[in-house]
Amino acid sequence: SSSAKQNTNKTIVQKFVRQWQIYLKQSVCGGGIALALLYLNVLTFHALMTAYLVWRGMGLETIGVCRGIANIIGLLGTVAYHYSVTKMSLKSTGMWSITFQFVCLTLSYASLFIHDLNSSLILLVVGVCASRIGLWVFDITVTQIMQEHVPDSERGVVGGVQESLYAFFGLISYFLGIVFPDPAQFFILVVTGYASV
């Protein structure tokens, strides 16, 4: 029984290592890892930033409207993607989109250093909303590149590892929220997420 359990554990570890080897040998794994790292970013209208905005005095109704605007702007990313790939390569589309997101999040990051509450919140929210275009275009671009360059026989393994990376980095962002629960420490989470972009 103990021997069977050891063999099972050994098989699981070997399978895990083999799946990572398959993933890492892909020419597109860099783009996949870059996309997964974006899940560390807390500059999005999810729980951690919502708690911070409430702490800063923003009303829930206003946050809801901003979240809706961010989603609509994100949907514009699909239009921007379609237009971009008709004019330039997928690689160029990915590069401008992640650069655009970085610039927008730089505005949001800069808002942490502005002492005027209203100006700070406006800059934070505008940067986050605008960054959705870059995020969506980058996400679609990396997904398309993976579909084109990952062999059919390895697509399931690569997709599984990719999804596990999303979950892992998303979990880390929430873990950091537990380690730094005080809204006054939100800047630590922002720096971590900003660095991941």
Contacts of 193 (CB under 8 A, 6+ apart): 40, 41, 42, 43, 105, 173
Helix, strand, coil proportions of the chain in percent (round to 5)? 85, 0, 15
Q: What is the per-residue pLDDT across 56-66, written as a single tens digit (0 to 9) for each?
A: 999 999 999 99
pLDDT at 10: 80
> Domain tally for the chain?
1
- For 42, the domain range is 2-196
For 31, 123, 134, 160, 197, the CA distances from 138, given in Å and listed in that order, are 9, 23, 6, 19, 11
pLDDT confidence of residue 103: 96
| b/e sequence 2-35, b meaning 16+ C-beta within 10 Å | eeeeeeeeeeeeeeeeebeebbeebebbebbbeb
- CA–CA distance, 143 with 90 (Å, rounded to integer): 10
Type of residue numbered 23 = Y
| pLDDT confidence of residue 161 | 96
Q: Give residue 4's pLDDT.
A: 66
Give the domain CATH number at 89.
Answer: 1.20.1250.20
Q: Are 74 and 100 in contact (CB under 8 A)?
A: no
What 84-92 contacts at long range (C-beta under 8 Å, 24+ apart), as own/partner pairs, is 84/137, 85/141, 85/144, 90/141, 90/144, 90/145, 90/148, 91/145
Question: Cα(178)–Cα(131) distance, rounded to whole angstroms?
Answer: 25
- Higher confidence at residue 86 or residue 194? 86
Q: Report helix, strand or coil for 25.
A: coil
pLDDT band at 31 (very low <50, low <70, confident <90, very high): very high
Task: Quote the pLDDT of residue 11.
Answer: 86
pLDDT the model gives residue 53: 95
Give me the mean pLDDT over the 31-59 stretch.
93
Task: Give residue 1's pLDDT.
Answer: 64
